[in-house]
Amino acid sequence: MNVKKSVAMLLAAACLCSFTSCADAKTSDEWKAAAVMDEYHPNKTITGNFDSRLAAKCVNGTFVGKQIGDVTVWKGIPFAEQPVGDLRFRAPKAPAPSNRVYEAYHFMKSGMQSIDPDEKASVYEQGEECLGLNIWKNTQGTDKKPVLVFIHGGGWMSGGTADSLYNGYNFANDNPDILVVTVDYRLGMLGQIDLSSFPDGAEFKGSEALCMLDLVQSLKWIKENISAFGGDPDNVTISGESAGGGAVSMLCVMPEARGLFTKAIPMSGSVTQFNDVSNARDQIAALRKEFGANTVKDLQRIPFPKLKKWWGLNVGDIYHHPLKGNSVIEADPLDAWVRGDSSDITIMQGHTANEFRYYITVFGGLERVYDAVCKGKVLNALENGDAEYAAAYREYNDALRTAGRSEADISHAYMDDYAFNAGMLYQAEMHAKNGGKGFFYTFEKGYDGDYSYMGAAHAIDCFYMFGSFDGNCALGTDEEVELSRKFQRMIANFCKTGDPSTDGLTWPEYKNDTKYRMMIGMNMRAERDPESERNAAVMKMMSIKDSPFLGEGNEKTLIEGAAKLDPEAVAQLKAILMERQK
C-alpha cells in the first residue's frame, strides 16, 4: 500500500489499498492466501445446456453462476439498463424483462475512475456498463436467508466490487444463513453532476446524485428478485464503508428507499459527506471549456475514453461527492436524522479508533494539515466572536488534555472527529432521541506490518468484515482470523434478528442516557459512554449553526489548505496521472 501524496485523492478514498480473500476460510493460512483478481470477460448469453442447480430466474433473465465448495457465486448481474448513449447522466432505468439465459461468471466493469495501481478496481476493465451486483450463497443453512448488501467505498470516485477486498466468499462460507450481495454504482462526474445550467438540463432530473439513485434501483431489483437466489426480500440489511457508509446513512432517510430494507450498517460514513451544489460549478465550467459542450446532449456524445482521460487528469481539481439541495437529497440531510426519518430502521453504526491516521504521512503529518486548515478555521471563528463555538472548542481540548492526550494526539483526535466520527455520533444520538433502535461501535484493532503506525485507521474494519488478509496491513494471524469471525458473527446476528449480540457477549443498545458502544478488538467489550467529555463537546460543536467544525465544503477546504502546504506534491501527482492516462 502506498500512501498518496495528494490530499485530494487521499481524503476521498475509502480504501485505496486493495486486498484479497481466499477460497476456503478454515485456517489462518487459507484465509490470508492471496486470491488472483479476476480478469474481465463479458458475461455471455447461454444457448445450450446449463446446470439448473446454479441458475436463478429473475425478471431480466435467468442467471447461471459457479460453485466453489459450498458457496454458489453469481457475478455481474445487471440491476438496471446500462447508462450508455442517451442514458448517460439519466436516472437508472429498470432492466427490460427477458427470458434469456446468461452467464453470471464475471464482474461487470468498474465505474469510471482514475487509474491507480493500488486500487484494484481501477486496473480492472472500466466502462459505463457498471450497474451490476454479485451474490454469494451458501448451499447449507436456512432456505430463506437474510440478505446483507454491501456498498463499497472510494470517495465516490474510485473503487468497485471487482476488488478482492470485497470478496463475499469468506463471509458466506462461515455464515451459511446469510446471503451476501455487493453492488457497483456510477462514480465521479458520471455519478454526480449538476446539469441545471444547460438549456436541456431539466430533462436530467436527479443528475446531482445519480449514484444514490443507482443504489435505490439496486435495492428495488433485490426486493423483486432475491428470492430466486434463496434470499428473504423482507429481511434485507444494507451496509457500506466510507463513501459506502455515507450512502447507507443517506438511504436510511431517503423516501425513495423506504420499504426496501429493514436494517443498516453505516461504517465510517455519515450524511455529512454530501455537499452543496456550488462546489461543483467549476466542474461544469471546465467541461464546457474542454469539449465545447453547449447542451447535455453534447456531453452525451463525448466518447467514453476521452471523458475518462479528462476525468483522470482533472480529478484533483473538481468536486466529486453527491450534491445536496435538489430533488434527490435535501438541503441538509442531517435535518432528516433530526426529524427521526431513520427511526423505523434498526441501525448498527460506528467508526475506527484512529480514522484520520490513514493519511498521517500526507505533507509531513497531521499536525501540518491541522495547523493549515482546522486551526485556521477555529481561530477565525474565535476572532469573529463566536462565543458558543469557542466554549465548545475549549471544552473539547480540555477533555482530551485531562485524559492525558498530547497536543499531537489532540490534533489527531480532532481530525478523526472532523472528518468521520462526529457525523456518526450525531446520527446515533438523533436516531436514539427519536426512538430508533440502534447500536454503536468503535473498531480498535490496528493495521499490521509496515503500517502499524497508523493504528486503527480508516477502512481497517473492512479486512475483518470480509476476512480479507494480505500478510501486511492485516496479517491474518490465528488471533486476527478469530476476531474476524467474531465480527462477522455480530454482523450475521444483526442481519438475522436486529441484535448483534453473540454467545457470551451482550451488545447493549445505544441510548441517549447510557451511550453504550462495543469496542471491537482483541479485548472485545461494551463500554458505557467512553470518552464522554470529548463526545459531549463534539455534539456541542456539531449543533452550532454554521459551525467551522463541520460546515459546507469541509473536505474541499481541507484539500485546498493542504495543497497550499505542498503544491509540488500536487503537481507531481498530476504528472503521474497524466503519464498513466497516456
Residue 285's contacts (CB-CB under 8 Å, 6 or more residues apart) are: none
Would you mind telling me the total number of residues written for the chain in this entry? 582
And the C-alpha cell for 464?
475483518
Name the nearest CA neighbour of 359 among 518, 189, 552, 555: 555
Please report which helix (H) or strand (E) contains residue 384, including its range: none
Phi, psi of 350 (to 5 degrees): 175, -165
Phi, psi of 486 (to 5 degrees): -65, -45
For residue 257, count other CB atoms closer than 10 A to its CB: 20
Q: Are 101 and 57 in contact (CB under 8 A)?
A: no
In whole angstroms, give the CA distance from residue 369 to residue 363: 7
In whole angstroms, give the CA distance from residue 121 to residue 158: 8
Where do the DSSP E strands lie in 85-144? 101-103, 132-138
And the C-alpha cell for 471?
500478510
Phi, psi of 438 (to 5 degrees): -155, 165
Q: Given 3-state DSSP classes, what are the helix, strand and coil percentages for the chain, each rounded to the nearest 5? A: 45, 15, 40
In whole angstroms, give the CA distance from residue 496 to residue 122: 34
Q: Are 540 and 395 in contact (CB under 8 A)?
A: yes
Task: Match 475514453 to its residue by C-alpha cell.
Answer: 305
Name the nearest CA neighbour of 171 among 122, 127, 196, 137: 137
And the C-alpha cell for 573?
501527482
In whole angstroms, give the CA distance from residue 530 to residue 193: 40
Name the nearest CA neighbour of 193 among 139, 144, 156, 237: 156
Which residues are identified as catalytic?
A: 242
Residue 449's contacts (CB-CB under 8 Å, 6 or more residues apart) are: 471, 472, 473, 475
